[in-house]
Amino acid sequence: MRRYQQQTRILLAVDCIIVGYDGTELKLLVIQRSFEPFKGQWSLVGGFVQENESAEDAAKRVLKNLTGLDGLYMEQLQTFTSPLRDTVERTASIAFFTLIDIQKYRQQLSEDYHPAWFSINDVPHLIFDHNEMVEQAKEKLRYKAALHPLVFELLPNKFTLPQLQNLYECLYNKTFDKGNFTRKVLSTKLLVKMKDKDKQSSKKGAFYYKVDPKRYNADFHSFTNFVSVPSLLNSIPKK
């Protein structure tokens, strides 16, 4: 049995897959790497884990630095540990999956990093194994969003049901029946109807809704599915 002293110590990094929704499609936020090697190439937002912080702390720090925002939805995806994944020195990277309201983000954007949004279906070549991380995040998002009310993290506080439907349609790349979608969403009692309407996208106008925070927090884990499970499973591409 090997003891502590004899072991190799390695660098530990975090990389964030930041997903947003601009009203039309799902977007991924990437930056231009600011140091060598591969300076100037597209990369996920990331950083090294510091001495007195956990990986979660590190991810929060990195996100705050870039966006100015706290309290973003964030979860561990997977840790990438292939010995040669980083060409400089062995580094394990914990990938974090993050959802962001693209509206809130816009104002706070720090330009130092030369960030850019890409359509999630058209991601450029990223350094190291970052493209693989993105693929995993996409799969996870589709999987989880069918069972839990994740997607509200991607929407502004006020949104309409057609907007919500469009988001689901982007996510699963299929169309849903208007009527059935509305009924299913409202049957969860998760949304509160507001008095005002969005009139931009139609003449009649669609009522705004907001998430009922009490129910949202209570029901996050025990949520019934907007997307039926067979259709969820059929939508997920085989590995």
Maximum Cα–Cα distance across the chain: 73
Among the listed residues 144, 184, 210, 215, the single contact to DNA using CB under 7 A? 184
Residue 87 contacts its own copies per CB under 8 A: no
Rule CB under 8 A: which of 67-86 touch its own copies? Answer: 76, 78-79, 81-83
Residues contacting residue 173 through CB under 8 Å, at least 6 positions apart:
235
Residues contacting residue 19 through CB under 8 Å, at least 6 positions apart:
26, 27, 28, 29, 97, 98, 99, 100, 120, 137, 141, 154
37 cis-preceded (ω within 30 degrees of 0): yes
Give the span between the Cα atoms of 94 and 238, in whole angstroms. 23
Number of residues counted as binding DNA (CB under 7 A): 24
Choices 124-132, 155-163, 190-198, 229-237; region in contact with its own copies by CB under 8 A: 229-237
Strands 45-48 and 42-43: unpaired
Residue 138 CB, nearest approach to its own copies (Å)? 14
Residue 173 contacts its own copies per CB under 8 A: no
Residue 158 CB, nearest approach to DNA (Å)? 13
Residues contacting residue 178 through CB under 8 Å, at least 6 positions apart:
162, 165
Binding site for DNA (CB under 7 A): 160-162, 177-180, 182-184, 197, 199, 201-207, 224-225, 228, 230-231
Please report, as ranges, the residues that interact with its own copies according to CB under 8 A.
Answer: 1-4, 7-12, 34-35, 47-56, 76, 78-79, 81-83, 88-90, 92, 94, 147, 221-225, 229-230, 233-234, 236, 238-239
